[in-house]
Structures are given as C-alpha cells and as structure tokens.
Amino acid sequence: MKKRAVILMNMGGPDSLEAVEPFLYNLFSDHDIIEIPKLIQKPVAKFISKIRAKKTKVYYEYMGGKSPQKEQTEKQAQLLQETLGENFIVKVAMRYWHPFTEEALDSLRDKDIEKFILLPLYPQYSRTTTGSSFNEFYRRLKEFREKGFFKEAKIVEIKSYHNHPLFIKAWVERIRESVSSPEDFYFLFSAHSLPEKVIKEGDPYKKQVEESVKLIMENFPNVKHSLAYQSKVGPVKWLEPMTDEEIKRLAKQGIKNLVVIPVTFVSEHSETLYELDKQYGKLAKESGIENYVRVPTLRESGIFIECLKDLVLKAA
C-alpha cells in the first residue's frame, strides 16, 4: 500500500557534551547560514567550532549534558503520527545532528512512498532554517534516487504557517496557562535574530514574525507589548533590538511584571532554557523586574499538533 511520508524538520541539538563541537561544525559548515567562500568554509567551520565549543558546553551542562530537542521533536512526531493514522509515516529529520535527513530517508527505503510532505518546525520561513532543511533534503534524496529509491515520489513543501489560526491559538493558550491576569503584564516577544543582510535580500522571516505577534496580540487588546531578537552570532549587524537590551529598557521604564514569549520556537533548547531562562531571567531580576515569566514553547500542545495535522492533510 502506498504511503505518504511526513518529514518533520528541525535544527537538532547535541545529545552529549562530546557532540557539542561536531554539532557546531555542522552548523558553521552550512552555506545557507554562514556565507563563507565554499573553498574555505569547512576549515573555517572547524576553527570556529573548536573555539566556541568550550563556551557552548556550559549551556548544555546547565541543561543536564544535552539538548532536549531530539526527544521533544520525536514526541511531536509520535503525536502527529497517532492523529494522522496509518496512511502516513512521520519521520524526524534534523539538520545538524542525529537523526539526520539521510537517516530519515534510509528508514523509509522499504516503504512504497508516493509523496514526501516536508514539514519544518520553523513556523516563520527563512532561507537559513526552512530553506536550508529543504536544500539538504533534496541533496540526500538525489543520492537515494541514484540508487533506485523513491524515483516516483512527489514532494510537497510546507514553507510556513506563521499565521495559521491553530498556531496562533496554541500560543494564546500557552500564554493564558502561564499568567492568570495578562493585563497586569507587559508582553515581550523574543524571536531568533538573523543578519540584516538576509532580510534585505528578500527573506520574509521578519515580516512573518511581526504578523505572528500581531495576530497573537489581537487576543490581548489591553496589553502593551514589543518584539525583540536574541541569539546573535558574529560581528555583522543583526535584527534588533536585542532581547537583553529590551529587558533593560523596559526595566528603566518601570515595568515590574514581564512575560517573555519565544514566538519562533516550538521546542526547548539552549536559546530558551539557558539564554531566556538563566541569563535573561537573572538580568531581569538585577534590573528591577519583579515578576519574570517565560512562556513555555508549544512542544506537545494539542492545538499545535492539530495545526500540524491540518497542514499535512491540506498538503496531501
């Protein structure tokens, strides 16, 4: 019986402290993210990853020695599989650590796949995230097709769902679960930053993040809010304001109750557990903010899984 394969795409994260350096090497080797001349990209990636690994290991030591993203993504895949039923096969494909895209494809070799549905766990499209995962999928699929696999399988790309009603509803539910009186808080949305150059070249990420925020805030008409960016790497100009600077600004304005919403993240990893919780939680307290609430990522939210199901069924 022919099957439709849902390839659930995410960044991935190191599953041990020993995996931190090779994970970073894979990340910095990706030309879709770091535009170093291809001839020298891998040597430069090796150099950068070696230098950054020592600092980055501290994040993962704080999180128990690894990223929880793999387990959380696999749980999302399991829940999506259960709700889609036996005509679909859901597989996880991580970009920079196991299980890689080729591992997902390898596990499907003995299945009669009529269609691949590429479903990134990046709600807002960027060439550096969704685009990179798509490119990797096509590279690996080409290798399998050269060996005689998946020759007739069609491919459907789900590029973004930043404004899907169920995606918005899932965030609204998460926020209401986190604070009983939203009107008593200031909402700070935090998104992963990108180099400004990427946006100026036509990447829709910034506009899509802003639309997600706008649609969520329609459910909280009396709450003040702003959008900031986090996780900058390197010396070039990235999207601003940065989240830590925005926290300081709000504290100076006298804000005492702050809700931080990681609007571009659907699972927990170093950007949320270490950066938002540990670093920025401490910064907020030191700056005079009395109540700092970080809304959990969507993870196993039933509404979010329904959102993914709806996207798949429409694509199928």
Which domains does the chain possess?
165-294 (3.40.50.1400)
Integer Cα distance of 282 and 275 in angstroms: 10
Q: What letter does residue 296 receive in the DSSP assignment?
A: P
Integer Cα distance of 90 and 86 in angstroms: 10
Prediction pTM value: 0.96
Q: Can you tell me whether residue 87 is helix, strand or coil?
A: coil
Integer Cα distance of 307 and 80 in angstroms: 10
Integer Cα distance of 48 and 115 in angstroms: 39
Give Cβ neighbours of residue 12 (< 8 Å, ≥ 6 apart). 23, 67, 69, 70, 94, 95, 96, 97, 98, 100
> Are 25 and 46 spatial neighbours (Cβ–Cβ below 8 Å)?
yes
Nearest CA-CA partner of 179 in 76, 121, 259, 237: 259
Instruction: Tell me how far apart the terminal alpha carbons of the chain are, to the nearest angstrom.
Output: 16
Integer Cα distance of 42 and 183 in angstroms: 50
CB-count burial class (<10 Å; 0-12, 13-18, 19+) for 148: exposed
Integer Cα distance of 69 and 127 in angstroms: 21
Residue 192, amino acid: H
Give Cβ neighbours of residue 59 (< 8 Å, ≥ 6 apart). 270, 274, 275
Quote the pLDDT of residue 169: 98
From residue 311, how far is each of 69, 144, 224, 232 by CA, in Å? 22, 26, 31, 31
What is the CB-side half-sphere exposure of residue 193 using CA atoms within 13 A? 20
Q: What is the CA radius of gyration of the chain?
A: 20
Which residue's entry shows tokens 């950068």?
A: 48
Quote the pLDDT of residue 1: 83
> Are 179 and 259 spatial neighbours (Cβ–Cβ below 8 Å)?
yes
Quote the pLDDT of residue 217: 98
Give the pLDDT of the chain (316 residues) as one tens digit per residue. Answer: 899 999 999 999 999 999 999 999 999 999 998 888 888 999 999 999 999 999 999 999 999 999 999 999 999 999 999 999 999 999 999 999 999 999 999 999 999 999 999 999 999 999 999 999 999 999 999 999 999 999 999 999 999 999 999 999 999 999 999 999 999 999 999 999 999 999 999 999 999 999 999 999 999 999 999 999 999 987 889 999 999 999 999 999 999 999 999 999 999 999 999 999 999 999 999 999 999 999 999 999 999 999 999 999 999 9
What is the CB-side half-sphere exposure of residue 235 using CA atoms within 13 A? 0
Quote the pLDDT of residue 105: 98
Quote the pLDDT of residue 123: 98
